[in-house]
Structure 1
Amino acid sequence: MGLALASTTLAIGAPAARAQSPAAAGYPSKPIQLVVPFPAGGATDGVARLVAEKLRQRMGQTVVVDNKAGASGILGTDFVAKAPADGHTLVLSLSTSLLINQFLYKKLPYAPQKDLALVSLLANVPIVLLAHPSVPANNAAELAKYISANKGKLSYGSWGVGSAGHLSLAAMSQGFNADMTHVAYKGEAPMLQDLIGGQIQLAFASALQAKSFAESGKVKAIGVTGEGRMPALPNVPTLAEQGWKDDIFRITGWVAVAAPAATPKPIVDRLAAELRAISEMPDVRSRFVAIMGVEPVALNPEQFAAAYAKDLPVWQRAVKETGASLD
């Protein structure tokens, strides 16, 4: 889940020579703009506002959350990629805009691996595989058997073409030779309504949405992505522990902070250290669970880069094999 060229510790593409920039002295010297490339009111926005308040307290400078929504996170992320590289303009976003979009769009206006510096991965964000109650399966093995026996008869939904939910279910369909039909929705809410209504049989969803509907019996929670169980759904096993070993089920989406590529490394490191300290606060940990159903992680730039490098080929392969494109 992170981006890194093996020999760099820094940010994606920023030369090491910049690390000694005097710009780090006296930082921050003015308000910090924390761009969220999605609308206000969502989970990512909620995380950003929590992080912004804690950064303000720790750094003694105003931190303003600026929602620049549009085009699957592209507009806001591009704004930061082209901003002055002084540590005063940051983006808090998802793996969609920081990693996956580079494979979905042929004409992306920024190159994540060249134009952005990875500051900190804040949290891994697994998704939950849900099934309509009519599907006679309660675990991954039973589901694999069922969809294989009903080739071409089932439909799955996603909150958009190229989303983690789409790519993961497409890989599942291919892996089990199920030939399922993909239905793309404009968001998670309409997708879940159709899943509850039985118009589609399967979908991946966010933890908190999955929790509420699964507990009410409106859907079945089959398993979660990633290597560990989710705090919000401790009784739902991972797909990996149920025997699904494809890498697409072992990785997760994530929420992270990045900066313009030429941001001096001392500034990147200062921000990463502050974010790590914030992630260890008990109230922050509980709020992350309440907002997204996950716990903060706060990987430093080097750890984030290694995670990014590990995830990148998995998402690249998934996009290529599904033929997903948003151009």
Structure 2
Amino acid sequence: MSNLSEASQRMRTGAEHQREAVGQASSVVEAVQKSIIEISDQAALWEEIRERIAAMERVKQTVSETAGRVGDMTKRSDEIGRIVQTIEDIAAQTNLLALNAAIEAARAGEAGRGFAVVAEEVRKLAEHSSEATKEITTLIGAVQSGSQDAADSMERTIKDVDEASEVTLQAAGCLEQIAKTATETAQQNNLLTEAMGEVERVAGENLDLLINMAEEITSVNANIEGIAASSQENSASTEEMSASSEEMSAMVEELVASVSEVDDQIRNLVTIVEEAQKVLDKSRKNDSGMQRAA
């Protein structure tokens, strides 16, 4: 009788252990799912960084094109400078010719007076041309200086963009790997969640069955004890009931062993899930370190 009561108690205890193990496994799976969501957020961050990299590349392309246009403008300024220099040389020659014409007109006397007036006007025009070319030369010099400053600034900008792109690409590479790992882990976690759902369903059915059996065994045990008390004079009946009780105890022992086996399997599953949680925690820690470095 005592064996039967002890077996019933062990079944109740085993059922409770199963309940706790399944609950613990469910909690760990929820934690894993939360970690998956967090890593998925990092995957979204990778997409954002990739867009920023593309934006920086567009900026770099625009700056490079602008630098090319500035370079072309500098070349044209040089060409204009050479043309202006030619005009200045022509003005100097014209001025010299006008002076020579004035001298020849003076020698001609009254007959060369009209020609002297024309020569004077030509000389004045040559002087104006010379002054204008000097002003143009000054302006061209200022444009060339500004163009060179702009070209230098754009070159530094391109260099800065290249450096920023390199750093961002390194960070993006890490995030891309994290995103890939997150996708794979999410797939595994979905399978694990489905398996845990099935385990919880079967375990719940087993728990209900074990509890009902434990209650029935307790009731049977009480009835046997009552019958045994009223049948103390009939030793044969008592021996038969004892044999039945021992047989039932053996059956209960087998059930308890099955309960223990299921309990061990659930605890092993909990251990596996906890290891998965550690891996995810490590991934999150590495990701946080990478973000600080970036």
TM-score range with shorter-chain normalisation? Answer: under 0.3
Larger-gyration structure (1/2): 2
| TM-score, L = length of structure 1 | 0.20
| TM-score, L = length of structure 2 | 0.22
- Higher helix proportion (structure 1 or 2): 2
Which structure is richer in relative contact order (CA contacts within 8 A, separation 6 or more)?
Answer: 2
- Higher strand proportion (structure 1 or 2): 1
